[in-house]
Structure 1
């Protein structure tokens, strides 16, 4: 059984990041998988995380997990 799936329509890949938006600050934040159950968060697979685009003038903040 896979973990959580990508939120993109027709994508059956396993999610690796969670995307949230801050409309007031025109910011998209991508980070490790969130706790879940947040209707305003979107889980994305590696491919869709890499293809992420935002409207002109917006900022993308990427939070990476630390690797030992």
Structure 2
């Protein structure tokens, strides 16, 4: 797995937004959906207890206002 810096992540986001012709909130929704599917594949719905997900201060944890 490659870990990107904040600058590299912003550049990758912008490249994807332009290449896919989507808005940044659509990109964030795609990322959230992909993560949710990944997590459910590994944890499953039968898992007991709560799952806590922590996000940093970047856009991936942001609320999008239109």
Q: Which has the higher strand share?
A: 1
Q: Given the two structures, how large is their TM-score scaled by the length of structure 1?
A: 0.24
Q: Given the two structures, how large is their TM-score scaled by the length of structure 2?
A: 0.24
Bigger radius of gyration, 1 or 2? 2
Q: Which has the higher contact order (CA 8 A, sep 6+)?
A: 1
Q: Which has the higher helix share?
A: 2
